[in-house]
Each structure stands twice: as C-alpha cells, then as structure tokens.
Structure 1
Amino acid sequence: MNLYTSVELPAGLPRLTHADRLLLLGSCFAAEMGERLLSAKFRCDVNPYGVLYNPLSISVALREIEAGRSYGAEDLFLFRELWHSPMHHGDFSSADKEKVLETINTRLQEAHAVFSQLDYLLLTFGTAWVYESKETGRVVSNCHKQPETKFTRRKLSVDEIVLDYKELLSDVLLRNPKLKVLFTVSPIRHVRDGLHANNLSKATLLLAVEQLQMLFPGHVFYFPAYELLLDELRDYRFYAEDMVHPSKLAVDYVWERFVHSCISADALQIMEESENIRKSLAHRPFHPESDEYKRFLGQIVLKIERLNGKYPYLDFKKEREICRIRLKA
C-alpha cells in the first residue's frame, strides 16, 4: 500500500562536482542548501547580498556582481539609527556607515572575482510580490521595517520575470557558455500575503522558470524543492512551529533528494570522506594529552593530506587548524 504521493525528479539534472564553482542567491532555502554545500566542501559563495526573495532583486544582484559594482555612501540610508542598503539584508546594517560599506564591498569583490569562472548558478525564488520605493521607483530587496507608505506593493507578471532573465542570461551565457543555472522555488509560504496570494505568487514563479527552461535548453534546469515539501511531505510534522518554515526533518529530506539527483558519484565519495573527518574531529577524548589521541589526530591529518593531494581545491583550513592546536596542547 502506497501512503504518500511521490514527486518524480526531472531527468537530466546537472551533476555537481567539487571542482565546480557555485554561486547561490535567493531565499532562506538557498541559504540552507548553501550552508550544507559549504559543509560538504563544495566551492560556493552563498548569498553575498544576504537573503533575497524576489526575482528582480536577484537579477539586479547578479548584474552588480558581474559588473563589479562598488557601493558608496549615496547608496545607503539612515533609519532608526542604523545605516541600511535597500539591496541588502539587515545582516549588513550597522550604526557605522563605513563598516556597512566595507562589508558590502568586500562581499561584492569576492563574488565578482570568480563570477566569470562560475560553473553553476543556483537561484531560489521566494515570492513574485515586490515592494517599489515611491522615491526611486526601484524594487527594493529589503524594506528594513520602514513604513509601508514609502512603497508600492505589486505582483510581478510571468512575462516581466521572463523578459528580465532572458536579457540577463543571454548576456551571462555569451561571456560564460559553460554556465548552467539551477532554479528552485522556495517551499516557504509567505502567509502575510494571504494563502491565495501566496499561491498565485508561487504559480507565477513556476511558470516563469518553465519558460526560461524552454528558452535556454541545456543551460536552465529546475529542482522541485517546492513540490517535494508541498506534495510529498504533506504532514504538519514536516513544518516548524510557525507552520510555515520546513522542519529540520523536511530540510534533511529535501537535501537528501538533492544530493542523490544533483551530485556526481565522485563528489558523493568526497562528501563521505569529508564527513568522516568532521565526525572524527567532533569526538572529544577522555585524555586529550595522551599519545594515543595524538596518533589519532595524526591519522586525521594524513587523511586530509591524502584528500588534498587528489583534490587540491578542497578547503580544509579549519580542520588543519583544529588538528594543529590540539597536537600542541
């Protein structure tokens, strides 16, 4: 007896390797997947603008990264004693204007430095609803809790999203023909919009991504994270206490499906060996000063060196430093 509806994953999804360079932009779901990819030793930059929810903010961020834009004082505004950027998440905000600019520009420079070498863009759309500043007429990424009277709220159309991304991806692929783009739609519902408005929003995003797949075959793909949570994991136990965000169990499940459909066989082996190293270092010995534990740490160092010998692009700086400190203790 089959007691749940299984979501069939699309055929021909790209297979990521540890040699690939990845850039992830989008909602909290992109941040969650990005952190897991980083922990698995993939070379990726995750949300250099902080969390972004709507497609237009993500496309503006990509254009600014590609151009290597630098932010100045004129790009910030002061509200409730903090300096903010309308393009950036509140994590970048501070009472120190220079600190905000330094943080923003450092992250932008890091992303720009590798943009032309990217193998994959992983973009997660959260909502088709946007807020336009009445002062500038531009879509903002974050209102920073300013009064709603300062903004015009509207829903993007499918055509508007497709036209914007057709222009963006045509330009990016002309400069980097090897690039592949993997879209997801966040399964997190924006209940503040109302559930009906949220459903219209998600449908708009899904239709836009489908059209982009048809416009850029072989370059644009879709991973059904939205469908996995909404159609396969229907029970409330798969949601956090707010009944909106996925629970850890649900995120683990979607991550597992992503790994098995979008990660290469060689990368899976590297992930397993990296996880074994992480677990070994998480082990707390009864006698850390003993020769036996020093030999144990030495074996971990040898494993790291062996992996780095085969895959020099893997980053084990943190693990090496932990071993060095414990060996000296």
Structure 2
Amino acid sequence: MQLQTIVPIKPLGNPINYKAKIVNIGSCFAVNMAQRLQYYQFQNTINPLGILFHPEAISRLLEFVVNDKVFTQEDVFQHNEIWSCFDAHSDLNQLEQEDIIEQLNSKICRFKANVFDATHIILTFGTAWVYRNKQSNQIVANCHKVPQNQFEKELLAVETCLENLKKIEQNLRQINPNIQIIYTISPVRHIKDGFVENQRSKAHLIAALHEYLEKNKPLNYYFPSYELLMDELRDYRFFGKDLIHPNDLAVDYIWQKFVETCIHSNEIPTMKMVDEVQKGLVHRSFNPYSDAHQQFLDKLAQKIDVLLEQYPFMNFR
C-alpha cells in the first residue's frame, strides 16, 4: 500500500562534489539548505546582503555585482537610531552610517569573487509579493519596520518574474559563463499575505520559473523543494509551531532528497565521516578523564587529520 505521492526528481547532470564551490541566494529556506552544506563542510557561501525573498531583490543584487556598485550615503537611511539599506536584510544594520556603507561595499566586492569562482549557485525564491517605497518608487528587499503607509504592496506579474529570471541568469553568466544554476521555490508559506495570496504568489513564481526553464535548459536545473513539502510530505507534523515553516524533520527530508539527486554519490563516504566528526565534537563524556574517552578523542583527531589532509578548506574549530 502506497501512503504518499512521490515527487519524481531528475538527477543533476553536473552533481556537487567536495571540489565544488557553492553560492546560495534567496529566502530563509536557502539558509536551511546552506546550513546543511556547511555542516558537511562543503565550500559554500550565502546571501551577502542577507535573506532576499523575491526575484526583484535577487535581480538587483546581481546588477550591483555586475556593475561594481559602490554604496554611498544616498543608499542608506536612519530609522529608530539604526542605519539600514532597503536593498539588504536587517542583519546588516549598523549603529553608524559609515559602518553600514563599508559593510555593504565589502560584501558586494567579496560576493563578486565568490560568483566568479563558483561551480554551482542555488537560487531560492520565496514570494512574488513585494513592497514599493512611495518616495523612491523602488521595490525594496526589506522594509526594516518603516511604517507601512510608506509602501505600496504589489504582486509581481508572471511576466515581471520572468524578466527578472532573464536578468538574473544574464548577470550570473556575465561573471561566470559556466556556472551550474539550481533553481527552487521555498516551501515556506507566506501566510501573513493571506492564504489565497500565498497561493497566487507561489503560482506566479512557479509559472514564471518553469516557462523560463523550458526555454533555457542548458546549465539550469529545478529542484522541487516546494513540491516535496506540499505533495510528498503534506502533513502538519512536518511544520514548526507556527505551522508555516518546515521543521527540522522536513528540512532533513528535503536535504536527503537533495543529496540523492544533486550530490555525487562518490562523496557520500566523506559526508558520513564528516558527520561522525561533527557529532564527536559535540559529544559530552560522563568521565572526560577516562581511558575510553581519551581513546575516543584520539580516534576523532585521526579522522579530522584524514579529512584535512584531503580537504584543507574544512574547518572543525
């Protein structure tokens, strides 16, 4: 008896290995996946300007990178004694104006180098709902708790999402022509927009992305994060207490599907050894002075030495 519908996933033609250099951009679910890549010690960077939820914000980020954007005083503002930038997440907020400008420019410069060196980039889109600042008439990446009456809420049309996707890939390939792009839709439901509104948003993203992929298949790949949670798991036991975000069990399930389809099978033994080391590092002994525990630490050190000899970029500190 089959008790769930299984989402078919085609394997990635250019799978990730430990030589790969990965860049993650997008919503909070991008952070979930990046954390697992980091746990297994893959070479991975994420969101230079913090979490970005919609295609317009990601497109602007890559325009900044391609055009060597230099942030100035005109790009930041002060609200509640905190300096922010409408193109960046609140994680980058600073108490001093010069600090946020310096940070923004440093991150953009470093990120361009990351994209240039990358073998794979994972783009995660969360929503098609955006907020347009009335004063500047610009769509923002983050409202930074500025009063809502200063913004107009809009739903990006499928055509607008499609245009953003074109710009995103054009800018990426201008920096790195051979980069493997992995697209996915975040399974996080944006219920604060409304139940019907969330469905409209996801529908616009999915329609635009698949129309784009049908015409641009080379070096592009779709991983069905959204479909795995909505169609394969489809149970509230896979959600957190807010009933919106996937819980650790769900993220682990989606991650395992990603491993099976997007990571080279030859790397599984190394991943298992890394997992053993990570668990060993957080192990707490009842008697840290016992011979058994000292032997455990010696074996753990040997495993770390073996990994570092082959993969010197790994860091277990």
Partner of 2:36: 36
Partner of 2:105: 105
Partner of 1:307: 307
Partner of 1:59: 59
**Unaligned stretches of 5+ residues in structure 2:** none
Contact 1:13 / 1:261 at 8 angstroms: preserved in 2? no
CA displacement 1:6-64 (0-9 Å, x = unmatched): 11113445411121111111111001111111111111111111111110101111222
Q: SS at 1:177's partner residue? A: coil
Q: Which moved more, 1:101-110 or 1:18-27?
A: 101-110
CA displacement 1:211-246 (0-9 Å, x = unmatched): 221232121111111011111111111111211111
CA displacement 1:248-304 (0-9 Å, x = unmatched): 211111111111111111222221111111122222234445666455434333322
For residues 285 and 202 of structure 2, the distance between their equivalents in structure 1, rounded to whole angstroms, comes to 49
Q: How does 1:95-134 map to 2 (within 5 A)?
A: 95-134=95-134
Say whether 1:146 aligns with 2:146. yes
Contact 1:128 / 1:155 at 8 angstroms: preserved in 2? yes
Q: SS at 2:117's partner residue? A: coil
Residue identity opposite 1:190 in structure 2: H
For residues 13 and 232 of structure 2, the distance between their equivalents in structure 1, rounded to whole angstroms, comes to 19
Q: Which moved more, 1:283-292 or 1:117-126?
A: 283-292
Relative distance call for 1:11 and 1:264 in structure 2 (3 A) is closer
Partner of 1:316: 315
Q: How does 1:1-329 map to 2 (within 5 A)?
A: 1-12=1-12, 14-289=14-289, 293-294=293-294, 296-312=296-312, 314-316=313-315, 318=317
Partner of 1:323: none
Q: SS at 2:100's partner residue? A: helix
Q: Which moved more, 1:5-14 or 1:242-251?
A: 5-14
Q: Which moved more, 1:22-31 or 1:142-151?
A: 142-151
For residues 12 and 286 of structure 1, the distance between their equivalents in structure 2, rounded to whole angstroms, comes to 44
Q: SS at 1:152's partner residue? A: strand
Q: SS at 1:221's partner residue? A: strand
Relative distance call for 1:167 and 1:100 in structure 2 (3 A) is closer
**Unaligned stretches of 5+ residues in structure 1:** 319-329
Question: RMSD of the alignment, in Å?
Answer: 2.0
For residues 175 and 91 of structure 2, the distance between their equivalents in structure 1, rounded to whole angstroms, comes to 32
For residues 102 and 240 of structure 1, the distance between their equivalents in structure 2, rounded to whole angstroms, comes to 37
Measured after TM superposition, the shift of residue 210 of structure 1 is 0.8
Residue identity opposite 2:143 in structure 1: C
For residues 245 and 13 of structure 2, the distance between their equivalents in structure 1, rounded to whole angstroms, comes to 26
Residue identity opposite 1:32 in structure 2: N
Q: Which moved more, 1:33-42 or 1:262-271?
A: 262-271
For residues 44 and 11 of structure 2, the distance between their equivalents in structure 1, rounded to whole angstroms, comes to 24
For residues 42 and 269 of structure 1, the distance between their equivalents in structure 2, rounded to whole angstroms, comes to 14
For residues 171 and 146 of structure 2, the distance between their equivalents in structure 1, rounded to whole angstroms, comes to 35
Relative distance call for 1:233 and 1:317 in structure 2 (3 A) is closer
Identical pairs, percent: 35
Residue identity opposite 2:184 in structure 1: T
Measured after TM superposition, the shift of residue 71 of structure 1 is 2.2
Q: Which moved more, 1:110-119 or 1:80-89?
A: 110-119
CA displacement 1:168-193 (0-9 Å, x = unmatched): 32343254232111111111111122
TM-score w.r.t. structure 1 length? 0.89
Relative distance call for 1:268 and 1:65 in structure 2 (3 A) is farther
Q: SS at 1:48's partner residue? A: coil
Contact 1:65 / 1:115 at 8 angstroms: preserved in 2? no
Q: Which moved more, 1:104-113 or 1:218-227?
A: 104-113
